[in-house]
Structure 1
């Protein structure tokens, strides 16, 4: 869907005329051509129109994204979605199939590293990752001088924690929490940090058996997430790991059982008690 088509769809959903939609921001004749795909629209004018009607920018960008990204990027996103679904369903055949397709993608180095480590963890073969792979991942991560502001770097860190040394890992977690513990973080970034906290807790409990100040701070971050349903799973995951670190497996089992009853069984299949 191109920008004009998405604007028309949003306008129709709101029940507005073209004049009501543009609110004098641009000329009606120009806007009409934008909707028909004859002319483009500046980013400045586009966002003024979206904000004037409280249209969710993330949802709007989602409508048009596939029209403006390359075929290779589109394929990479589809594969990433497929393999995440396969992980949630513990579908070994689909995971292996997706892995091979990901490795054949041109470029997408960070995605490949993330999937390779995730698959190794799923196979319980993290110890079999080569030294070269581990060093390459850390080298790729350290290329990002401003990694705290890089979505790619944060995703790489979230999925590749096992390749970092304990010192590197703890230092990075400290920086993440220091930077993003305020209430000024956007919702997508808040979720990314929640994922990082969740992955760190999982890795510490099941792999390194470390219980340190960073664990305490990650638990606190998840506990303090607001009550939007979007964050519910992360808050519950934080409570699960709190009980696990405290040795209260009875409470942890109750939480896991409740999540299974609510239909989250595939997402908690790796939560061994």
Structure 2
């Protein structure tokens, strides 16, 4: 009832390793059950008759130094209903393992390669995981992992996806110090729990996440001159704000404007300059 991709890549902006999971299903809130990842450890998707305990167990095995295949073997050996499970794991080094139990409902299967594990069950056919693999391999390493994962998920959906229909999707990506303000490792953690077009909605949320929760690049920064500062303050006053910094806080644009107002993201400047 679910299709997913688990992967490891190098972040193009920082050069640091990144792990993530993207998943979609005709199932309510699939993001609450399937994905788990820890920076510097690895990532897992547990699905079909999902054993959610696999998430903590697998990450513990990986943290102890087990490879993806060893961690997977341990999970299955300890589970008397392993024939009903489907799992994908990628470890700290990018080794990948995928398992589809013989009792999973058709169509069910997976694909693995260096740095990725793709799997799905109750799909329209093998073309779903084939399309996901092709999209992953065609994606540019210059893209952030979350965008590559979402592209693969969308390709699977377009190829047929879950044979029962669409309901939810989720995206989880981790990298050391990638979180808001650098205070945790969450690069992206987005869920669409119940929606007619969950992957389309997930894409919209990812675009918003990129805008609100990531810092401006040097190419996006515009130096604030005295003339621009006056323009910004005039705009803020027109919005009823007690200064431009107050307006920035109200709109949650802190990642896109320098605290000392020495620069502003060009997209924020466009917002200021676009008539409403």
**TM-score under structure 2 normalisation?**
0.26
| More relative contact order, 1 or 2 (CA 8 Å, 6+ apart) | 2
Which of the two has greater helix per residue?
1
